[in-house]
Amino acid sequence: MLDAATGVESIVDEVPIALSAGQDADGRPTRPLPLGHLIRISLYWLGISTVWSGVLDILNNRLQYTGLVPKGSEGLGGLQIALAGTFIAILVQPTVGTISDYTMTRWGRRKPYIFIGASLDVLFLWGMATSNTLPAVAAFVTMLQFSSNFAQGPFQGYVPDLVPGKQVGLASGLIGLMAALGNVVGYAVSAVALTMSKDNPSAFFYGTMAIGMIEFVTMLSVVLHVDEGKVAKRRRGRSWFAIAREAWGTDILRERSFLWLVGSRFCILTGASLYPIMATFYLAQVFGLDQKAAGDTKLILLGIVGLCVTLSVVPASKLSDRIGRKKVIYFSCLAGGAGLAMGAVAPVLPVALAGAGLFAVAAGAFLAVDWALMSDIVPKASTGRYMGISNVATASAGTVALALGGAAVMDTVNRAFGYGVGPRAALGFGVVCYMLGALLLKPVIERRRELDPTQLDLGA
């Protein structure tokens, strides 16, 4: 049925074409998945996280040390690189995610987009790695945003598509673990490239291509081995343009818990983005480290972060099954804000490293629970659409962190109070972001959608 006001299907009709004995009334599977299948579903997140953490950090290294922009305008340079790509990501991911909800191919409804997007990622990473001017780098980063989000929008539908309600906490924990490990791998590759770049300028090129190969291999593990299972939604004679337009239908305004959660997610991820974005600038400007010393210090930092994240992800996901998702996210906001505050005021590097450890515990807890809460409350037949829209927060958070934390706060404070004060102020801005994220989380109703009949049609 089409909604006369919006021109899109009403949520009442957003149920699978045919419900098998393995699905509940809301279209969520009921049959438990083997652990190996859950790991394969989440593995591509390692590749995605490796690419974006590695790419952004390598670009920051080039901005700080290779003269790509004038001294004192590093934050603005990063913003110029990321800005256009962010708008592309916001448009592409929900739109392609929605189209994939209706796609029927021999590969399934998600896999063609994942394969094409990841393959193009490698090509655009090569273009970025071989470019030596700011406009050229920005152009390839914009194309990378297109291809990466072309794959991510459909891929994000896998957990609501395939994972039964009782395993959502575990699946979200695995996704959080893979995303966290991907961040560590990406930053590690970038740190090694930074250390080597002082004697070997091509180190940044090889580092960029290495993270592309990691993503491509993890993509193959999903495309070749994951059984998508669920059938596509019926188009009912509508054109693909009409389907794409459905991603932006106003019916989504009825999903109030979803909208509040997207807002909370955006603020939390903006705050969380500031630590990795500021890492190179912080070490170089606050503590005066050169390329090799900064690279070596970042490897130590990554060891601390990797250990803290890994130890926090699985306990956080299990705890959320017992006490609720929101309480764990509130803890993440508190710990993350405290970790950023320690970095903002740290008189010596060891204090900053301790703050990074606390921040990593918070990041692990958030990554473990965020996906579970989102999967609980979205309409299951349109997971590509809703999970794509939810990731608008992810796509825009990094750019907002660069715009406000980097270009607005860091560059401005550096000019006003001296070079090196800016990164501290930017971390302080991150504390405010965590506070806003916690406030916006309060109206979210976290009951699983399939267990709450009142949410089937109208949301919270």
- Please check the confidence at residue 82 and state whether its pLDDT lies above 80: no
Band of pLDDT at residue 169, cut at 50, 70 and 90: confident
- Position 453 in a domain: no
User: Within 13 Å of residue 130, how many CA atoms lie on the same side as its CB?
Assistant: 6
Q: Is residue 61 part of a domain?
A: yes
| Domain count of the fold of the chain | 1
Across 19-28, 109-118, 397-406, 446-455, least confident range? 19-28
3-class SS of residue 2: strand
SS (H, E, C) the chain: CECCCCCCECHHHCCCCCCCCCECCCCCECCCCCHHHHHHHHHHHHHHHHHHHHHHHHHHHHHHHCCCCCCCCHHHHHHHHHHHHHHHHHHHHHHHHHHHHHCCCCCCCCHHHHHHHHHHHHHHHHHHHCCCCHHHHHHHHHHHHHHHHHHHHHHCCHHHHHCCHHHHHHHHHHHHHHHHHHHHHHHHHHHHHHHHHCCCCCHHHHHHHHHHHHHHHHHHHHHHHCCCCCCCCCCCCCCHHHHHHHCCCHHHHHCHHHHHHHHHHHHHHHHHHHHHHHHHHHHHHHCCCCHHHHHHHHHHHHHHHHHHHHHHHHHHHHHHHHHCHHHHHHHHHHHHHHHHHHHHHCCCHHHHHHHHHHHHHHHHHHHHHHHHHHHHHCCHHHHHHHHHHHCHHHHHHHHHHHHHHHHHHHHHHHHHHCCCCHHHHHHHHHHHHHHHHHHHHCCCCCCCHHHCCCHHHHCC
Residue 384 pLDDT: 65
Contact (CB, 8 A) for 229 and 113: no
Indicate the pLDDT class of residue 27, thresholds 50, 70 and 90. low
The answer to whether 117 and 222 have CB atoms below 8 angstroms apart is no
CATH code where residue 77 lies: 1.20.1250.20
- pLDDT at residue 457 greater than cutoff 70: no
Residue 141 near residue 128, CB atoms below 8 Å: yes
d(Cα 121, Cα 147) in Å, to the nearest integer? 6
Asked whether residue 181 is assigned to any structural domain, the reply reads: yes
Interhelix angle 392-400/256-281, nearest 10 degrees:
40
Q: Tell me: pLDDT of 83 over 50.
A: yes
**pLDDT tens digits for 101-149?**
888 878 888 889 999 999 999 999 999 999 988 889 889 999 998 999 8
- Read off the tokens for 76: 């603005």
Q: What is the mean pLDDT of the chain?
A: 82
Calculated CA dihedral for residues 304, 152, 214, 398, nearest 10 degrees: -40
Residue range(s) defining the domain that contains residue 294: 34-226+252-444
- What per-residue confidence (pLDDT) applies to 119? 95
CA end-to-end distance (rounded Å), the chain: 22
Answer positive or negative: Cα dihedral of 121, 127, 131, 133: negative
Q: Flag whether 28 is in a domain.
A: no
Q: Does pLDDT of 23 surpass 60?
A: no
The predicted model gives 419-433 an average pLDDT of 93
Judge contact between 218 and 85, C-beta under 8 A: no
- For residue 144 the two structure tokens come to 């990378």
Q: Is residue 438 one of the residues assigned to a domain?
A: yes
Residue 7 lies in a domain: no
Residues 357 and 340: their CA atoms lie apart, in Å, by: 10
Q: Is residue 176 part of a domain?
A: yes
The confidence score (pLDDT) of residue 445 equals: 86
Choose the most confident range, by mean pLDDT, from 69-78, 250-259, 451-460.
250-259
In a domain, 231, yes or no: no
**Which of 69, 294, 35, 306 minimizes the C-alpha distance to 190?**
294
